[in-house]
Amino acid sequence: MVAIPPTRRPSAPALDHRELYVLLGRIEEALEVLLRTEPLEPTAAQSALELLEVAGRELPVHFADEEAPDGFFASALARAPHLHHALETLQKEHLHLAELLGELLQEVRWAGTSSSAWTHVEASYLLLAETLRRHERAEDGIVAEAFSTDEGGLG
């Protein structure tokens, strides 16, 4: 299993796509475990909250890493200029994803041990996770197209 760091060191590299998919799966499992109990188990709520906070820290770092001057978008554009529309769309999606993430984290901070609040959190999370998976798969497709002839890509 891929280790997800509980805290972010300034020098830590951004999570790659495989690590992000693992994190998304772990959050889904944590929410499922949490919402299976009534009343909600405080330790299960804490675990879900901590994993969502990891996502709150890691996703912006992942996006910034891709948008960096030497990051994925710039190198994909250099390799495959004909993909510029697709790359621009993906870069814009980071803003939308960051908004969804911000709203989700607000809900999480107020959820406590309220099952109705966590049911809301789960719905918001599933929307974010679906949108994010679609986004990352599109990037994986770009990697396959732009970097298929040699080494490179998102790791």
Q: List residues binding Fe ion (CB under 5 A).
A: 66, 136, 139
Minimum Å gap between C-beta 46 and Fe ion is 28
Peptide bond into 39 cis (omega under 30): yes
Q: Do residues 142 and 83 touch, judged by C-beta distance below 8 A?
A: yes
Instruction: Using the minimum distance from each CB to Fe ion, give the nearer residue, 58 or 136.
Output: 136
What is the closest distance, in whole angstroms, from the C-beta atom of residue 74 to Fe ion in the complex?
A: 13
Mind giving me the DSSP string for 18-71?
A: HHHHHHHHHHHHHHHHHHTSSSPPHHHHHHHHHHHHHHHHHHHHHHHHHHSTTS
Q: Which is closer to Fe ion, CB of 107 or CB of 140?
A: 140
Q: What is the DSSP letter of 123?
A: H
Q: Which is nearer to Fe ion, 48 or 76 (CB)?
A: 76
Give dist(CA 75, CA 137) in Å, integer.
Answer: 18
In the bound complex, what is the minimum distance in angstroms from residue 78's beta carbon to Fe ion? 17
CB of 5 to Fe ion, least distance (A): 18
Residue closer to Fe ion, measured from CB, 48 or 143: 143
